Each structure stands twice: as structure tokens, then as C-alpha cells.
Amino acid sequence: MNSLFDNHQLGHIELPNRVVMAPMSRVRATTDGLATPAMATYYAQRATAGLIVSEGAQPSLIGQSNPSTPGLHTDEQAESWRQVTAAIHANGGRVFAQIMHGGRVSHPETHGLQPAGPSAVPAVGDVFTPSGRQPAPIPRAMTTAEVPEHARSYADAARRGIAAGFDGVELHGANGYLIQQFLSDNANLRTDRYGGSVANRIRFAVEAVAHTVEAVGAARTGIRLSPGATFWGVQENDVPALYTALVKELAAFDLAYLHLEVTTDEATLAALRAIWPGTLIINPGAGLGPVQAGPADADHWLRKGADLISFGRAFIANPDLVERLRIGLPLATADEATYFEGGNHGYLTYPAYQHQAA
Ligand SMILES: Cc1cc2nc3c(=O)[nH]c(=O)nc-3n(C[C@H](O)[C@H](O)[C@H](O)COP(=O)(O)O)c2cc1C
């Protein structure tokens, strides 16, 4: 079995350990989607991760899901990321940019546009807006002619991200955002080539990946999926068939990695492992509810064939998570109240482990 502390070759880069910082939106960018010096410090504090996956960055204005998230659709936004990638690299780390199109999970108050999704079906729940949480609006159904533009937006963002110093990109195909809305059979009611059959529902994901691979290369492209997850009301009634078809198509690209959340049963995930020839990242915490994933979860999934393990919440409160796992130090718990607010408090203020004399 692999250890969390073995090296791993990921595309063109060698990771010194198998601990991945999972993507986490912390909504501390400027209102026009620029990365900030505080973001550079936050990520640089966590650069001992084998790989950092950034918070979701929108590939277009309409793709922005939450206020104060960073973008990768203007030159100014791309330029602003340079301080982040440079700080991570200066501290010896590696970073992929997560590209996240929110689709229907957004609000006109956030970007001035009516959100667009596969169909005119609203997300379930209240979305974040600049004036607080509000019911998810009814999105506009994308026209057939428009869908490819959204697929290409991931590639355009990827190009900008690589130019800004990212080592690669991760397409956000999980958690009920646009790619999973297309995969879903209750958010996607389309009757064109992007809806209906499994082959049609996976088409948007595959096209987004194909464009991105063409733009930045397969070795710099990963994708995150959450099979069966019901975030924001998406449903997938045929999870094994849907994801088997999708992962088989994706396998042909020789991507840097597939990042799976534990949002379905182990048998389904094991079957996906069996048909995925490349690097597999598993995010155990997605299946644990309020419990923060720890070393036992990592060992479990390494035994089940994962190559890398991603941790989200544990990285918020433990910037030195790799070292704590390596020597078995206790893990601090993150304060939920500062996940999405608090400025530098709860963002830059978690210390590395400090020994307390007994
Ligand atoms: C504050 C916060 C923000 C998150 N933002 C994102 C995001 O931008 N993209 C994404 O794919 N997942 C996001 N997630 C989900 C995490 O990547 C991860 O799947 C989840 O927290 C479960 O893993 P954990 O127990 O290790 O934290 C977020 C989670 C948290 C707690």
C-alpha cells in the first residue's frame, strides 16, 4: 500500500507527498474577482501539501456562483493570481486552479445577469448574494448553440491560469455546479444532444475536458466529480451507469488525475477505480458530514486504491497538516463561522502546531 508520505508523479510534476489540499472557496477575493495578497499568504502557508487545488475560480462572469470569488476570465484577474502562484512556488509547493462554473447556482445580484443552466429549473436552497442568502432564482435554459461556449470557457480560463503560473487546472464537475447540472436528470431536462440519455448528459463534461486538454495539455488537466451527490438539489438516478460511461470517456484523455468525492457507495467507487488507469485522488471527507477526515480515512482509501488523498477542512485549521499527519500530532478544528467571512481572522491566523509543555 502507498503511504501518504511517498512521492507521486503527477503529469509533469513530482509531488513530495500524497496529501492534497482540497479546493475551498473562502470568498476573500475582491468584488471584481481579483486574487489578493492575503490569498497569496493563505496558500503559501499551506505549501507543504503535495498539491494544492485552489478555490473555485469562475471562467466567465455568468459562471460566478458566489460574491467575492476570484475569476479567470479577464487579464487583470489572471495577473492577480501571479502573486498566489509565485508565493506557493517560493515556499516549495505546487498548485492547480479549480475552474468552477456555477450554472444555476448563482443570482442576478451577484453578477448582474440571469444565471443560466441546462434547463429552467432552479437549484434547491438559498444561494449567496451580496445582500445575504436568497432563494435560488429560476435560471435561463442555455440554447443549444450557446452550450459549447460554456464548455470552451473552461479552456479559456485554463489558458489564463497556466499563463499566471498554475501547474495545472481542475475542472469542477462536482457539488451541483454546472457540469453536474448537465449530468443530473432533474436539473437537465433538455431534449437536444446535451440531455436525455447518459451519452447526452455526459457530453458537456467531456467537451469541457476536451477543450481544456487542447488548450493546456492533458498532463495539466484534472477533473473533480461527486457521483450521486445531491448538493443544490441535483439528482442522478443511475449513478453507476452514468459515471462508468463518463469515466470511460475521460480515461481516453490521459488526464493528470480524477478527483472523486466519497459521495456514493464504496462498490461504485471501486468500480470507477478499476476503469480509471491514471492518478486517482479521493476526498474522504465528502462522505463524513460534520466530521473532519483524518489519517484513518486516508489509510482506508489508500488501501482501496487511491493514489492521493485530499483534505479540505483539516487544511483550514492546520496549515502544517502534512507535518501533523507525518508525526501524529493532534489536528485543530476549523471555525465554521470564518469559512466565508472574517477577513484575515480564521484565514491567516491558524498557527502551525505549537508544543505545549505538560
Ligand atoms: C469552506 C469550504 C469551501 C468549499 N469550497 C469548495 C470549492 O470551491 N470547490 C469544491 O470542489 N469543493 C469545495 N468544498 C468542498 C471541499 O473541497 C471538500 O470536498 C469537503 O469539505 C469535504 O472534505 P473535508 O472533510 O476534507 O473538508 C468546500 C468546502 C468547504 C468547507
What does the DSSP assignment read for 147-198?
HHHHHHHHHHHHHHHHHTT-SEEEEEE-TTSHHHHHH-TTT----STTSSSH
Domain-embedded: residue 188: yes
Q: Is 177 a catalytic residue?
A: yes
Give me the domain span that covers residue 33. 8-309
pLDDT digits (tens, 9 = 90+) for 332-345: 999 999 999 989 99
Domain-embedded: residue 321: no
* Catalytic-role residue among 42, 43, 177, 194: 177
Question: What atom of ligand 1 comes closest to residue 292's alpha carbon?
Answer: 25
Domain-embedded: residue 57: yes
Q: Given this model, what pLDDT does residue 288 score?
A: 84
Q: Given this model, what pLDDT does residue 290 score?
A: 84
Q: Does residue 57 register a pLDDT over 70?
A: yes
pLDDT digits (tens, 9 = 90+) for 93-108: 999 999 999 999 999 9
Cell numbers that stand for 272 in this block = 470507477
Question: What atom of ligand 1 comes closest to residue 293's alpha carbon?
Answer: 25
What is the CATH number for 181? 3.20.20.70
Q: Given this model, what pLDDT does residue 358 score?
A: 67
Q: Given this model, what pLDDT does residue 240 score?
A: 98
Q: Does residue 1 register a pLDDT over 80?
A: no
Domain-embedded: residue 255: yes
**What is the average pLDDT score of the chain?**
97
Question: What atom of ligand 1 comes closest to residue 339's alpha carbon?
Answer: 1
**Cα–ligand 1 centroid distance for 23 (angstroms):** 6
pLDDT digits (tens, 9 = 90+) for 243-258: 999 999 999 999 999 9
- Sole residue written with cell 432563494: 135
pLDDT digits (tens, 9 = 90+) for 144-170: 999 999 999 999 999 999 999 999 999
Q: Does residue 186 register a pLDDT over 90?
A: yes
Looking at residue 18, its amino acid is R
Q: Given this model, what pLDDT does residue 354 score?
A: 85
Lowest-pLDDT choice from 25-34, 40-49, 288-297: 288-297
Closest of 257, 60, 66, 61 to residue 152, by C-alpha: 60
Closest of 286, 232, 217, 224 to residue 259, by C-alpha: 224
Q: Given this model, what pLDDT does residue 109 score?
A: 97
Q: Does residue 294 register a pLDDT over 70?
A: yes
For the chain, how many structural domains are there in total? 1
Which residue minimizes the CA distance to atom 1 of ligand 1? 339
Confidence of residue 70 (pLDDT cuts 50, 70, 90): very high
β-pairing verdict for 280-283 and 308-311: parallel
Domain-embedded: residue 294: yes
Which residue minimizes the CA distance to atom 11 of ligand 1? 23
Domain-embedded: residue 351: no
Which residue minimizes the CA distance to atom 31 of ligand 1? 313
Domain-embedded: residue 249: yes
Domain-embedded: residue 353: no
